[in-house]
Structure 1
Amino acid sequence: MTPKPKNTQITKRHNPWKIAFVTLILVLIFAVSFVSIRAFSPMPAQDNQTKLTAKNESFSVTFNKKQINGFIHYYLANQLKNETVKYNFTLEKHAVLTGKLYFLNQPVEFSLACDPYVLENGNVQLKARSIAVGRLNLPLTFVMGYISHNFKLPKWVEVDANKQLINLKLNQFKLANGMQFTAKRIDLKQDKIEFNVFLPPVK
């Protein structure tokens, strides 16, 4: 059953400084996510879920695939610069994860195509649809299991190899300054990706 996007009215605010700051935040997509790597380190979540309340001031912002891909490339280039296993994630007709896996001690390039869905709680679910692994005929479950155990993924990214899903648990992610966000709309065909941004409550 295909998850349904949440239809919630979000108060729009057009303060220029907020829009500029959110542009930096979205380096994490999808990852959730999202201008430095330290600034984007997730804080420990309480009870495995960060709750958003009516006291949080919020606004929405929209990007296209080219902008999001630029943010993701910058983020991964810094996050994985000291890692031997590297990968890339881009938004095209589908969400595409590419990288290398080792099969019988031989490096093999792969490309995993997924369909993104926005869940009612603002999280994002990537449903795997196809896999290309060189000339090998490897099952999706094998490749996704390899990704889960060998790739350096943020703690709020969960790979379910059996169900062939990648879950981006944005409700378990918070910036160091307390800012949070949820997905509102991901329409790759129309080239529109929209997020709700929640500012920390003023004490």
Structure 2
Amino acid sequence: MNLMRIQIKTKPSWKQLFFGIVGVNVCFVLFFFIFLLWPLSDTEIPIKEYIEEEPGAEFTITSSKQNLNELVNEYVDHFMKDKDDKYTVILDEHVQLLGSVEAFQTDIPISITLEPEVQENGDLVLYASDMSLGLLGLPEKKILEYVKKELITPEWVEIDPKNQLIYIGVTQMEVKSNFKVKVQSFDLKNDHITFRIKVPNKTLGL
């Protein structure tokens, strides 16, 4: 005669549930404090280049916020292979970076407001004026540090958490036909954005 084994599944007791929840909270708190105390990484700002140093013809191009906004987001989608539009750049009176990062197997929304400033060589610096990472009350420097770790950027873009800025080395962008680009004006409030395009003589075979 075969004996039948009967397995009885018991529900976890309230003590097990309680200690399980406590354990998750402890892990979250530990991660939070480790993240706060972890030193900020050093950032190397790209060496400034001046397109005037290379002989060639220069042209001025004017753009609207709408046109530039479409171009920037197309580049972001292409470079980051962001088919789901996880990251979006909005040019309004300020520059806004919207997106999300994964933490604890959950997508946490990110919002960063940036103030643009044109550099003397034509590069662009975006100073962070307001940042949020979900409902986490993290210092702004730490938010930008987290974004730096999670966000893939081209070599000519550097995120500097210590100084709370994003440096965009426009003059170091690799453009087809070897054209060189610099920002001449970036006035979002008045929708006045201009670029200087340098066509090197060597590109024309001169």
TM-score normalised by structure 1 residue count? 0.70
Q: Choose 1 or 2 for highest CA Rg.
A: 2
Q: What do residues 75-111 of structure 1 show as CA deviations (whole Å, max 9, x unaligned)? A: 2222222689942212112111111123344321011
Match of 1:200 in 2: 200
Correspondence 1:170 to 2:184: no
Match of 2:107 in 1: 107
Pairing 1:37-116 to 2, within 5 Å after superposition: 50-52=49-51, 53=53, 55-81=55-81, 86-116=86-116
Structure 1 counterpart SS, 2:193: strand
Distance 1:119 1:162 in 2: 19
Structure 1 counterpart SS, 2:109: strand
Match of 2:6 in 1: none
5+ long unaligned stretches in structure 1: 1-46
Give the direction of change, closer, same or farther, for the CA distance of 1:97–1:82 in structure 2 (3 Å limit): closer
Match of 1:146 in 2: 146
Shift of 1:142: 1.3
Distance 1:81 1:144 in 2: 22
* Contact 1:158–1:166, Cα closer than 8 Å, also in 2: yes
Question: What is the aligned length?
Answer: 157
Q: What do residues 43-70 of structure 1 show as CA deviations (whole Å, max 9, x unaligned)? A: xxxx956552362210111111111111
Structure 2 counterpart SS, 1:177: helix
The range that moved more, 182-191 or 172-181, is 172-181
Correspondence 1:121 to 2:121: yes
RMSD: 2.3
Structure 2 counterpart SS, 1:199: strand
Give the direction of change, closer, same or farther, for the CA distance of 1:82–1:129 in structure 2 (3 Å limit): closer
Distance 2:49 2:116 in 1: 22
Match of 2:189 in 1: 189
Q: Larger helix proportion, structure 1 or 2?
A: 2
TM-score normalised by structure 2 residue count? 0.69
